[in-house]
Each structure stands twice: as C-alpha cells, then as structure tokens.
Amino acid sequence: MERSLSVGGVSSSMSFRGFLHALQEAGHLEEVDRPVSPSLEAAALSVGAGPLLFNNVDGKKCCMNLLGTRDLLARALGIPREDMAKALAEIDLAGGWIREVDSSPFMEAVGEPDLTALPILTHFRGDGGPYITSGIVVSAFGGKTNASVHRMMVLGKDRVAARLVPGRHTSMLLQEALAAGERLPVGIVIGVDPLVLIAASTRVPLGMEFQYASALSGSPVELVALDNGVFVPSAEIAFEGYIDGERASEGPFVDITGTRDFPRMEPVIHLSKMMTREVPIYHALLPSGGEHKMLMGVPYEPLIFRAASEVAEVKNVLLTEGGCSYLHAAVQIKKRSEAEPGKVIDAAFEAHKSLKHVIVVDEDVDIYSPEELEYAVATRVKGDEDMVLYPNVRGSTLDPRSVDGITTKVGIDATMTLGEEEKFLRVRPVLPEGRTF
C-alpha cells in the first residue's frame, strides 16, 4: 500500500512533487514568481519563512524550507510531533524493502553534466562558492552501498568538492576503493521523497538507508540502476560520477551552528552524466536553517531514545533549538533510582558523540519548553551533586569553543530526589468543585 501525506486535511502521494502539492493544497506553500537571484537573495528570503517555491531563480524552479519545522517533519513522517523520537526508535529495518525498476522521472532529459544549468545557491557572503545542500550521494564498492547527504561546493560545470567526514560510511568506501587502486562510483540525487531524504540523513547500518525509508513509509523504495552500477531513488535531478584521489579546497561554509566551518582539502566528485525531469525543481537547504536542523539533528533523537531506554524508562528526547538542534539534548524519564540519570547521560553521549550538554528531567517537565527546562535546573539541581563533567573528550568540530573537536561535556541531573517529591512538585491553582471560569 502506498503511503500518503496528510497536511491540513489534504492527502497526497509521498513523492517529492506529491509533498509539494500537499503543502500547496493546504495553503502552506508560498510561491514567489518574481525573478530571484541564486546569489544571496534566495537564501535571505527563506530566513524565517515557511515552505517556499521560487518559480524564477535565473529562470529555474527552486524550493526551500519543505521540512523546516518539527510540525512539517512530523507530517512527512505521519507521526505526532511529540511522539517522533519514540516512534522512530521503534522502527524495524527488517520491515523495509526495495524494488528495482527500469526507469525514473529524472530520465526525461539526459545529457552532459552542467551545474550552471541549475539554480544552485550561494547562501552567505564569504561562502566558498555555490553549494548543493540537499544532495544525496549514493556510493557502491565491494558489494557495499551507502546513501548519505553531503554538502558539495561547485568547482565547475562537472566537478564538486564534497565534505566527507573521516570514519563515516562514504569516506570508508572511498578509502577501500582507493586502496584497491580503483575509483568510487557514485550517483547524486536532488529532490527526492522526503522520507528518503530523512533516511539518508539518519545513522543506520551501512547500506540500510533505503530499507529504512521503506520501513518509515510502509511501501517499497524504487531504485533504478545508473550506467556505473549505482542504484538511486526517484528524484528531480540525478548525476552519475565517481570519486578518485583528487582533492580541492572546500569552504568556507556556514554550518548548523550558524558559524563558519573553514576550508579543508576534501575529495572531488567528477560528474559524467546529468539527468533531470523536463522542468526540474531544485531543492535547496538553507545552511543553519530549520530544514538543516531537522535533517541533521532530529535523526539523533531516536538513537538517544533507544540507548537511554537500555538504562531507564525514557518518555521523550529532544535536541533543543537553542542547542542548534544538535549540541544539547533533553531526556525525559520516569525515574526509578538515583543512579538512572547518570546512566542516561552516559548513554546519550555514547549515542550522539557530537553532543555537548545533556539535561535529564522528570515526566512533569515539558521538554519542548525552554522555560520549563530552566525551571528544572533552577529548582532540582545542586551543582556539586547533580552535574557531571567530562573534560578533554571528543565532541563536535562544529562547536566553535572546541579545540580540534576536543571539548568538555556536561551532564545535568535535573530530576526530583526520590522520596522527597513533595518538596519539588509545583502547586497549581484549581477552581473549587462545581465552579467554572
């Protein structure tokens, strides 16, 4: 059975265009018909906006902010916002499957690669160049595959420099290919089913991204083989190419914290073929914007939920907005022993190694409310007993306070002392029996 999306009472097939159509029918998609420049202007207009469809970015179509809020992400998943972490933690990868097909909509126009034909955005002054920000890189080598989102800086018509974090799956496959004296074949897709984009943004076992997308949707993910043997999903735009030993300077780039990630020497992806729909819609993510945070940060919440559930009864997990939806986690538990919060903190740091600060709270604290989280710290924390420091540990290179990724992590137990709950429970006014306001 094919999954459908319901947004404001409107259902639509969950293809990329189906998602756009559902947003449009529900009045959530704003269309901009006037000419908009891909250099700085489109990005600036997207700040603080809802889903946008620019119909004339140098004569091309470009959309932004499609998954830019928790509500939009929840609608795409078909899960209530407050239940996302728990529901995603319970997804069974074995329930997903793929289907190989012979054609895809992106085969409507096939030719030589020409990145200048697409409305690829330059987002901020000082950027290293125009950046592809929603591209999924699918790679295959030695019987293993991977699909993940990588930022890609345009170097020319048929070359991009891609940020490949060492130790992660694409980088691992590249190192295996180079060690064997071979190139790593890749496919790149832009403008995909939102659940495929979410899956490619999630840490799952090697080669399981499309199965995960299928498990999320309850329907198979259709894949088509490129000439280089890489299988890719349906998309607005697709490229065939390879990565060899060439490297180029990539950056600066504004990352999830809203601060600059400075240049590094990164692998170059060489493009050999470009395939698009007849009139493709380019999908751009605003760096450090809501969509970036939803896709890069939120997928860690179920990982933390699952890990922390091994040591406590977890009710919910949130990567907080003030922590860039990446560096700070709030974990809500039903506390059963005084040792549990410390174990939960350790589990959270293990599940999300870039995490910097973790706060553990009781069931009565609304983790979606910054005021409630601060209240828990104010009334339930004794600094010398309820805070744990982890100095000189590996954190995130995106944290500007870290030194080469080395930082100090802090865990905060902001739960009530067992047996003394009456001291901590908030007293709220109630109307006398039989009276109404």
Q: Could you list the active site residues?
A: 255
* Distance from C-alpha of 414 to C-alpha of 277, rounded to nearest angstrom: 52
CB within 8 A of 374, min separation 6: which ones? Answer: none
Residue pair 313/150 in contact (Cβ under 8 Å)? The answer is no
* Distance from C-alpha of 267 to C-alpha of 355, rounded to nearest angstrom: 27
Residue 347 parent element (H or E): helix 340-351
Cα(first)–Cα(last) distance of the chain, in Å?
Answer: 48
| Amino acid, res. 197 | L
CB within 8 A of 376, min separation 6: which ones? Answer: 359, 361, 362, 365, 414, 415
∠ CA(123), CA(125), CA(127), 5° rounding? 65
* Distance from C-alpha of 224 to C-alpha of 126, rounded to nearest angstrom: 38
H helix runs in 159-251, sequence order: 169-179, 194-200, 209-217
Q: How many CA atoms lie within 13 A of 100 on its CB side?
A: 5
Strands 357-361 and 328-334: parallel
Residue pair 373/320 in contact (Cβ under 8 Å)? The answer is yes
CB within 8 A of 89, min separation 6: which ones? Answer: 302, 303, 305, 306, 309
- Residue 316 in tokens: 């919910």
Reported residue count of the chain is: 437
Residue pair 23/71 in contact (Cβ under 8 Å)? The answer is no
